[in-house]
């Protein structure tokens, strides 16, 4: 549980930092935008003043160069000059093609009116005109800049996170593969020694009643060693009768679980139906799921096995009457290092997922779980 919580904590820290940086970027850009809006408003007031001076000038010889400069200098801010009744008198800096359409300009004017108040021009003859304006092109681009910045930043965070996760997974895989192969190697010597001792024990008739069970356990250890040796390498898949394979795995575990746990098995699949499996690894998956079910029931309850077919797939539902689990952890129980037990590394279901999905091209997931009622794990395999 500690390893899982540490990874989860780091993920949360990365997300929080990304959100803080994004919020600061938005706030800073918004501060700049508001300042530019105020500056643009002042420019439009100056523009309106210049229009007023130009309209009031009766002296053709008066120097209107400054006024003309102010009026013609505006090349970026879309602007509409209207009468008091909002009839369009003139406009600048709109799309040349679309602005020839009267309906288009009326729609643009309505948008501008809903966004901000106009600047009123009071002329000498007691007439009034209105100046409506939109944000300049630069200001509009600047408004969207933080969102683009956040999107780019989020993309880099995501790529970095994926690279970091893949790197960690690759490192974990190398460690687990190394541990698995070393475990298989270490088991090899005592297993060989036990086999030799078994041959010696067979020479004593008085001990023959014990040797069959000892032989079974030695064979079991040999199976476990071979399982660990296959982790990290692509196993061979051969056609196996799925009902017979399931029966063998269930029978083995049935005699090695507390007496308070009962097993039931139903199958809607013909006994001749075969699935491409690595029998040793697949039985390991079934055993891991059963062990987790027994732990969830605390040694007392029922485990049901149901086999059926849907389309081109075979499903195996393993249902216990244990304590169940909340939805928030139903997807994480297959994560490496996740465990709710005080002992164990949390690798059983993680290895099961790897065996089913990576080696057998199947799926394993929590089909259903209810608190204090039980859990159903579903395995999907291709026919």
Question: Would you list the DSSP string of 88-157?
Answer: EEEEESS-TTGGG-HHHHHHHHHHHHHHSPPEEEE-TTS-EEEEEEPPPHHHHHHHHHHHHHHHHHHHHH
Residues in the chain with pLDDT values less than 70: 1-8, 44, 47-48, 50-75, 124-125, 168-186, 188-189, 207, 227, 230-234, 336-347
Q: List, as own/partner pairs, every contact residues 260-264 make where C-beta atoms lie below 8 angstroms and the sequence separation is at least 24, other chains included.
A: 260/299, 260/300, 260/301, 261/294, 261/297, 261/299, 261/300, 261/301, 261/302, 261/303, 262/301, 262/302, 262/303, 263/302, 263/303, 263/304, 263/305, 264/302, 264/303, 264/304, 264/305
Spell out the SS3 assignment of 155-223: HHHHHHHHHHHHHHHHHHHHHHHHHHHHHHHHHHHHHHHHHHHHHHHCCCHHHCCCHHHHHHHHHHHHH
Q: Which residue has the tokens 């064979």?
A: 219
**CA–CA separation, 158 vs 168, rounded Å?**
15
Q: Phi and psi for 344 in degrees, rounded to 5?
A: 110, 160
- Burial status of residue 100 (CB atoms within 10 A of its CB: 0-12, 13-18, 19 or more): exposed
Instruction: Check residue 349 and give left, alpha or beta (phi > 0: left; psi -120 to 50: alpha).
Output: alpha
**CA–CA separation, 271 vs 338, rounded Å?**
36
3-state SS class at 339: coil
* Cα 96–chain centre separation: 46
- Contact in structure between 241 and 281 (CB atoms under 8 Å): no
Say if pTM beats, i.e. exceeds, 0.75: no
**CA–CA separation, 311 vs 307, rounded Å?**
13
Centre a 10 Å sphere on the Cβ of residue 355 and count the other Cβ atoms it contains: 23
DSSP structural state of residue 80:
E
Partners of residue 382 on adjacent β-strands: 313
Give the torsion sign (CA, 195, 200, 203, 209): negative
What's residue 179's pLDDT?
66
Q: Phi and psi for 322 in degrees, rounded to 5?
A: -85, -160
Buried b / exposed e over 102-122, threshold 16 CB at 10 Å, is eeebeebbeebeeeeebbebe
Centre a 10 Å sphere on the Cβ of residue 257 and count the other Cβ atoms it contains: 17
């Amino acid at each position: 549980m500690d390893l899982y919580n540490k990874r989860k904590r780091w993920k949360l820290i990365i997300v929080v930092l990304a959100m803080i940086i994004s919020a600061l970027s938005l706030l800073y850009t918004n501060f700049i935008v508001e300042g530019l809006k105020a500056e643009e408003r002042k420019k439009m007031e100056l523009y309106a003043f210049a229009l007023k001076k130009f309209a009031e000038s009766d002296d053709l010889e008066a120097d209107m160069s400054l006024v003309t400069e102010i009026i013609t200098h505006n090349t970026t801010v879309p602007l509409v000059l209207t009468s008091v009744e909002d009839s369009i008198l003139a406009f600048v800096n709109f799309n040349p093609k679309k602005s020839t359409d009267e309906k288009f300009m009326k729609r643009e004017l309505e948008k501008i009116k809903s966004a901000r108040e106009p600047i009123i021009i009071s002329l000498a003859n007691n007439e009034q005109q209105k100046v409506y304006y939109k944000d300049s092109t630069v200001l509009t681009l600047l408004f969207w800049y933080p969102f683009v910045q956040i999107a780019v930043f989020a993309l880099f965070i995501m790529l970095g996170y994926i690279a970091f996760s893949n790197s960690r997974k690759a490192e974990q895989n190398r460690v687990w593969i190394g541990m698995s192969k070393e475990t298989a190697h270490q088991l090899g010597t005592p297993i060989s020694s036990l086999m030799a001792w078994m041959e010696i024990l067979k020479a004593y008739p008085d001990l023959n009643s014990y040797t069959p069970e000892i032989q079974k356990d030695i064979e079991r250890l040999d199976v476990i060693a071979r399982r660990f040796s296959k982790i990290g390498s692509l196993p061979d898949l051969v056609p196996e009768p799925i009902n017979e394979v399931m029966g063998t795995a269930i029978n083995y575990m049935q005699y090695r679980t507390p007496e308070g746990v009962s097993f039931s098995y139903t199958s809607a699949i013909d006994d001749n139906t075969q699935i491409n499996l690595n029998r040793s690894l697949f039985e390991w998956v079934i055993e891991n799921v059963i062990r987790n079910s027994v732990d969830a029931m605390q040694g007392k309850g029922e485990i049901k096995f149901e086999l059926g077919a849907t389309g081109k797939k075979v499903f195996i539902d393993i249902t216990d009457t244990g304590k169940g689990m909340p939805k928030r952890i139903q997807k994480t129980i297959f994560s490496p290092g996740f465990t709710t037990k005080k002992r164990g590394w949390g690798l059983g279901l993680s290895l099961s997922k790897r065996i089913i999905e990576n080696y057998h091209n199947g799926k394993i997931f929590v089909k259903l779980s209810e608190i204090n009622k039980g859990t159903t794990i579903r395995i999907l395999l291709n026919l």
